[in-house]
A and B are shown apart, each in its own frame.
Chain A
Amino acid sequence: MLMEKIAELFIILILVSVVLNVSSPFIKFAIKLYSFQSLMLALYILIGAVHFNSINLYGSFVITVIFKVILIPYFLFKTLKRVKMDKEIDMYIGIPEAVVFAGSLTLLSNLIAQKIVTAGITFGAFVFTISLATFLIGAMLMITRKTLFSQIIGFLTIDNAIFLAANSITHGMPLLVELGVLFDLFVSILILSILILNLKRSAAA
């Protein structure tokens, strides 16, 4: 019982960090928030692992911490340092509008989750709402911002949302698949970092 409530806290912290991400125009802060958000996701997985005593989820916790909390933010910071792009991000719509839009996306995902998730699993409905909202807000982050970094952040947010869904409606995907997914994610971040460096260089030349 207590565990379920604490898990709820972690989930809501994921949503809060996404909304804060929408409200902030700074890239460094966004990367820090992503790391924090992944940590919350990992702790949520850990609580599931303790609760169901599942080896699969313990493994999932470990690889999430290694890839999402440590490695990906580390490489993003490194790239950021090399391109020297720590200014505010240009946006197509203002921040307050974007935040209000994020709120309405949460409302929408609440409606969708109520339609889809059957009455039997109430707790699942809550997580599904949050993960759908995170997914949509991540997509919104990608659309409304002009900087390349925020597209990466949006993509990573979408990925976290899917991980949250995978670990809430099921007890996690098989470990082999999860490892493959995380490795692909990591490599794609590396490639995107290389592309950012090259784009910066070719724009300067």
Chain B
Amino acid sequence: MYELVLILPAVALIFSVFTDVLLMSYLQLIISTFVFLTVVAISLSFHAITVFFGGLFFVDYINLVILITVSILELFVAFYSFGYVRTEIKHGLSKRKFKFYYFWKNLFIFSMMASIMSNNLGIYWTGLEATTLATALLVSFNRTKESFEATWKYVIMCSVGIAIGLFAIVILYFTTSQVYGESMKSLSFINIIQAGSELDKNFLMLAFILALVGFGTKVGFAPMHNWLPDAHSQGPSPVSALLSGVLLNTALLGILRFYQINASAGIYYPRYFLIGFGFLTILVSALSIIKQKDYKRLFAFSSMENMGLIALGFGVGGIAVVGSLFQILFHALNKGALFLSSGNVLAVTHERKIDKIRSLSKHFPVTGLMLLFGVMGISGMPPFAMFLGEIYIMFGVFKTNIWFGFLVFLLLIFIFAGLFSKILKMYIGVKDGENGQQNENKADSGTRKGKQNKGEKEIHPFMLYVPLILLLISSILLFYMPSPFLHIVKSASAEFGGKIIF
């Protein structure tokens, strides 16, 4: 059963080479549904660490959380892509291009799955680098100068970052090979954890710092975040959703693995590095959000902020770990909804700039509402599940130090204000220096630039309603949490010393 999670994306990869695009979109729906069902079956029956494919891959509670996140978001992205492909082909993009789209997307999913479930750190590294390469040509899908530049930045920065991560793995291998000898066993995560107390502490510390900087580049931690807003805003919206929602978590998993290894050797001060990087990331994204002019870049900075919050939660420990694990899933759902609905906005208005878009509520009611709800969710307002994750993390932070808690809280309010000031303008705002009537005409003429523009009816209904369903799930999860998932999160948080009381 576990093998299926890897085999199915590989099958989809092979299909995407040979089949027609429209047929492929149906196949993709089926395969993604099966992946999702497999993951659901795994999580229902899961009770202990399971190894498969000869010890190269394994599933434990922590990567199961990320696996569930990936499979859910992938399912919805498959539905969205179904509509997206049809809409774009109707607008005159070639089918051959979408064949590439499905090919790279499936390669991306496959390597991400391999990297999440890998027991061997070398395979984790290979998979993570492969995700960078697979998404490179997806980010430059629009073939504009900006998108090529964004891709260049993305590939170069992430490759170098991941190369630093390889250095960390080499040093870890050197340390563990003194226990297990030079074999695959010395890279196997389960074996390393078992031998934790016998390892050289200096080298483990060095390996953690290198891994934090290296994989942290891919997570988007603050000093190394330059590539993130460009890459996430330039890609097609489904790809942006996957990049923001799950790929960042995959890179974070590497850091968490090194953190676990250090904890098993009795080294606990890496947590301060996590807290420091997390806080710095929140600070930088809060300051950047105010100045953004492009709404997709705005959401990219918001993902950065959330990754910082998750890292902060893992660093603080206690109840905040539970919050972080919740946040991994909820952020993926919400950010998925947000990017997909921003894709709809882009599809109906053909504009990326915030200043050019006004009165969405009048012209595109569903799209505009989805965008507004998405922003409400992402900033942690109650009807959506991210409220839960953020409140747990904030509890943990307040428990450690009340002043630090106030500082983080202030930054969160800052981000909330920054996001809403932009999005509300887009939703109900009017243009400066013009009265309402003129503005309406202007907006109408703006949308009529494309011939026979019929507003929302032009785009495929799947595109329109997928974000809605994602948001619906998110708000249901706030009130009713399925007990198997709760169990998984509890057990996963126990491995980081987290506690939960219900």
Contact = CB atoms under 8 A, between A and B. Distances in A.
A–B contact (CB under 8 angstroms)? yes
Contacts of B206: 116
Contact of B126 (A169, A181, A191, A199): A181
B159 interface: yes
B167 interface: yes
Contact of B133 (A116, A135, A184): A184
B137 A198 contact: no
Given A151-B156, A174-B122, A202-B145, A191 B173 contact: no
A187 interface: yes
A119 interface: no
B163 A195 contact: no
Interface stretch (B79-87, B176-184, B475-483): B176-184
A170 B203 CA distance: 13
Contact of A166 (B143, B170, B203): B170
Contact of B155 (A173, A176, A191, A203): A191
B140 interface: yes
Given A148-B152, A155-B163, A198-B143, A173 B133 contact: no
Interface residues of B, number: 38
Interface in B89-138: 120, 122-123, 125-126, 129-130, 132-133, 136-137
Nearest to A161: B167
Contacts of A151: 156
A165 interface: yes
B163 A173 contact: no
B3 interface: no
B198 interface: no
B20 interface: no
Interface string A176-202: 110011011001100110110011001
Interface in B143-202: 143-145, 148-149, 151-152, 155-156, 159-160, 163, 166-167, 170-171, 173-174, 177, 182-184, 187, 202
Contacts of B173: 166, 170, 173
Contacts of A152: 156
A18 interface: no
A32 interface: no
B206 to A, nearest CB: 7
Nearest to A131: B167
Given A158-B160, A174-B183, A195 B170 contact: no
Contact of B130 (A139, A174, A184): A184
24 contacts: A116-B206, A135-B167, A139-B160, A142-B160, A155-B159, A162-B163, A162-B166, A166-B173, A169-B174, A170-B177, A173-B122, A174-B122, A174-B183, A174-B184, A177-B122, A180-B125, A181-B166, A184-B126, A184-B133, A188-B133, A191-B137, A195-B136, A195-B140, A203-B145
